[in-house]
Amino acid sequence: MSYNALQSDLAKQGYVASDDLAVALHLALSLERPLLLEGAAGVGKTDVARTLSAVRDTRLIRLQCYEGLDAAQAIYEWNYQRQLLTIRAAAEDGETGKTVEQRIFSREFLLERPLLAAITQDTPPVLLIDEIDRADEEFEAYLLEILSDYQVSIPELGTITAKSKPIVILTSNGTRDLSDALRRRCLYTYVDYPSRETELAILKARCPDVEVHLSTKIIGFVQKLREETLEKTPGIAEMLDFAAALVGLGIADLTDDPAILQSTLTTLLKTQSDQAQITPEVAGRIAGRAA
């Protein structure tokens, strides 16, 4: 399968991937290496994984990272309540310590968290490790063993090796510098805001009921808006919301009614200072230039 085939498969599921991204995904699949996607929020990093799992018709296992995420929530944890009950029951049945120990530290008592679940599937799933930069540095170290050898070591149980290698996609917003050790194990692609043509294709794929005339206006407007110095530049998701809002309000042209345009801008501008900066006059000027 060449990268073009992958690209068109993704497109069928409504995801328009740039050539850079398609080649990187293709390599990640064929070389069985994790893929690290970096880029601003809202450029479709997470959606890659979701679409890929749909294309490959496999499970999507998602691990949302946050500060303080630890092994117990990401890899595995023992089911303490069950263990405690079993020990009590065994004591009454007169079972010996050795057999009880073996029993309560078996797979039966193991609660699988996303990372362990990902490597114990029969068919390779898509493992999405989302916003890895939010987790702290110690957590990256946990990931190294899983990402390079696809195995998990549990002291009481031994090493669990992957039945099938999952397709791993990591995303990062670049709020923190990732360690070199992690970067080295991954293929890397920087996902930028899409070009005008790509974004038009995305809009067409996601909202087919937007008229051609309006959709070029919308894309023109959003692209121009991204050139302004905003605190939070609107991403693709915001653009789609904006289009849906305009369609919902039955607007045919952006320059028709400044008041309505301004009220729909709430879908694009997500901070107070950005909303204060794009006054109706500025919005009208941008809409005029976008035409």
Partner 1 sequence: MSRVTRFAGRDPGPAARITGFIAHLRSNGLRLGVAEAETALAALTEIVAISPDESRRALRAVCTGCKEEAVRFDALFDSYWMDAGRVKQKVIKNKSSTISDDVHSSRDAKGQDSSGAGSVNAPDDTSGDAESDGTGKLISSEIRNLSRKDLRDLVRPDEIAEAEVIARRIGAALRDKRSRRRIAARKGDRLHFRKTIRHSLATGGEPVRLLRKRRPDRARKIVALCDVSGSMTVYAQVFLAFLAGLMRADTTADAYLFHTRLVRITEALRDKDALRAIGRMSLMADGFGGGSKIGPSLALFADTYAKRFVDGRSVVLILSDGYDTAPPAIMGNALAKLKKRGCKIIWLNPLKGWNDYAPVAAGMAAALPHLDLFAAANTLGDLAALETELAVL
Cβ–Cβ < 8 Å for 244, 207:
yes
Residues of this chain that interact with partner 1 (CB under 8 A) are 2-3, 19-20, 23-24, 26-28, 30-31, 33, 35-36, 38, 67-70, 78, 80, 83-84, 86-88, 90-91, 97, 100-101, 104, 136, 138, 174-178, 180, 183-184, 186-190
CB of 111 to partner 1, least distance (A): 12
| Residues 6+ away with beta carbon under 8 Å from 251 | 214, 257, 260, 261, 264
- Which is nearer to partner 1, 86 or 255 (by Cβ)? 86
- Residue 213: what residue type? H
CB of 75 to partner 1, least distance (A): 13
Cβ–Cβ < 8 Å for 184, 36:
no
Q: What is the CA radius of gyration of the chain?
A: 24
- Which is nearer to partner 1, 57 or 67 (by Cβ)? 67
Cα 32 to Cα 132: distance, rounded to the nearest angstrom: 20
Q: Which residues pair with 168 in a beta bridge?
A: 127
- Which is nearer to partner 1, 31 or 252 (by Cβ)? 31
Which residue blocks in 120-179 are alpha helix, DSSP H? 137-149
Cα 133 to Cα 176: distance, rounded to the nearest angstrom: 5
Nearest by Cα to 134 from 48, 193, 74, 53 = 74
- Which is nearer to partner 1, 28 or 290 (by Cβ)? 28
Helix, strand, coil tally for the chain in percent (to 5): 55, 15, 30
CB of 199 to partner 1, least distance (A): 20
CB of 8 to partner 1, least distance (A): 16
- Which is nearer to partner 1, 50 or 185 (by Cβ)? 185
CB of 10 to partner 1, least distance (A): 16
CB of 55 to partner 1, least distance (A): 18
- Which is nearer to partner 1, 99 or 263 (by Cβ)? 99
